[in-house]
Every structure is written in structure tokens, then in C-alpha cells.
Amino acid sequence: MKNLSTKTIGHIKNALFIACLIPLTKLLFAFFTDTFGPDPVADITHVTGIWTLNLLIATLTITPLRKWTHWNWLMRLRRTLAMFAFFYASLHLLSYLIFDQLLDWAEIGRDLSKRPYMIAGMTSFILMIPLAITSTTAMMKRLGGRNWQLLHRLAYPVAAAGVLHYLWLVKQDITQPSLYAIALLLLFCLRLTKSKPPTGVHVKLKPLGGIQVSLNDSNPPA
């Protein structure tokens, strides 16, 4: 599966797009069939929040997974996952502003001043905005590859703030937010290992300052 045809990758991207719409479809079905729980607003905010985190973690998983499997086509899926993460984060915020607070800006301001989890959540969303705006190929070219990569490292603070938002929000059982925290920590550690190439790896500087890694096992271990 290292090399897939453009047609096959297109089918995978279409399937992923449809899969990412399933949580929204379930919410719409519950709305039109009146099958929400006793607190529909809580159901909506929970589902949209959970899927924001799921998609953020999935987005961050793409790069290490590509490195392990050498399936370069996985990178073609990253933008879809990231944009759906922003989509569900937007729904999550709107459900709070409209359904929970009824656009009462004074009450929203009091929430932000009193509740640390609100500040963490808002920070995560604000940091997502420039990532969503610059997600296109045209913006990547306009910023330059290196600048674009530096900007999109904000994905880690975005995810960290989102996990903190969930962790501080939960008052009793913190099992699920802790699992997200562990997953994010593992992904961050994998990211840091990039700076320590194994023995037998030569590092060459590209003209733009990137790093090209090539294996040369001239002295393989016995």
C-alpha cells in the first residue's frame, strides 16, 4: 500500500469525508426524531467536543504513521481530518454560545472569567483559526513551505488546550480525558524523536533549510 493510484486515493478521501459526517448525521437524526436525552444541549456540546478531539488526534497521528509505514498517501488525508476538526470545534462553540448561553455576552464573559476550562477551550479554538485559513495549497505556497510548517506546529498547542478544556470540565471520572492526554503526550514524544536520527542515518541540509534523511547501513549489526 505504499503507492496508490490517484483514483484510489480519491475513493479513500471520499470515504473519509462521508465518515467524518456521521457524528453530524446522528445529531441531526436525533433532532428531527426528538430522541435526544433529557439535556439536548449537553448532548450536542459533548458529541461535537469529543469529535473535535478525535479528529485532532487523528490529524496528529498521520505524520508518525506515514513514517512507520512509508505510506506517503496518508498525508493526502490530513487536511480533511484537520478541517473537520475545525468544523466540529465551530459547532461545539456555537452550541455553547447559542443554545447554552442564548448569546448572553455578559454571562459568557463571566464564564470566561470564572472557569479555567472555558479559557482553555477558547484558546484552542482561536489557535485553530489561522490553521484553517492557511490549510489550502495556495496559502502554503504564499507563506512558503518552512513558514507554513512552523505555523502549523500550533496543532500541538491546539490539541493540548483542547485536552485541558476537557480535563478541567470533567468533575468526577477523568478516565476519558486522561486517555486523550496520554495519546497526545505519546504523539508529542514521537515528534521529538525526529531530532535524533538512529545510527547509520545521514542528515543533509536542503537549500530551504529542511532535513533530508537517508539510510546507509554499511556496517549492519551482527
Question: So what's the pLDDT on residue 1?
Answer: 66
Note the pLDDT of residue 191: 82
Q: Where are the domains of the chain?
A: 6-197
If one counts every other C-beta atom within 10 angstroms of the C-beta of residue 108, the result is 17
Share of the chain above pLDDT 70, in %: 86
Percent share of the chain, pLDDT over 90 = 73
Q: Which contiguous run of DSSP H or E holds residue 7? A: helix 6-20
Q: Report the SS3 class of residue 196.
A: coil
Take residue 26 and report the three cell numbers written for it: 446522528
Please count the other Cβ atoms lying within 10 Å of the Cβ belonging to residue 173: 8
**Below-70 pLDDT ranges, the chain:** 1, 194-222
pLDDT score at 3: 79
* CA-to-CA dists, residue 47 to 15, 54, 91, 179, 217, angstroms: 21, 10, 10, 17, 49
How high is the pLDDT of residue 210?
Answer: 44
**pLDDT score, position 194:** 56
pTM: 0.83
Cell 436525533 sits at which residue? 30
- What does DSSP say about strands 211-215 and 201-205: parallel, antiparallel, or unpaired? antiparallel
C-alpha closest to that of 52 among 163, 170, 139, 197:
163
What was the pLDDT predicted at 139?
Answer: 92
Q: By the 8 A CB rule, do 136 and 147 touch?
A: no
The half-sphere exposure of 148 on its side-chain side, counting CA atoms within 13 A, is 16
Cell numbers placing 162: 483542547
**DSSP SS3 for 170:** coil
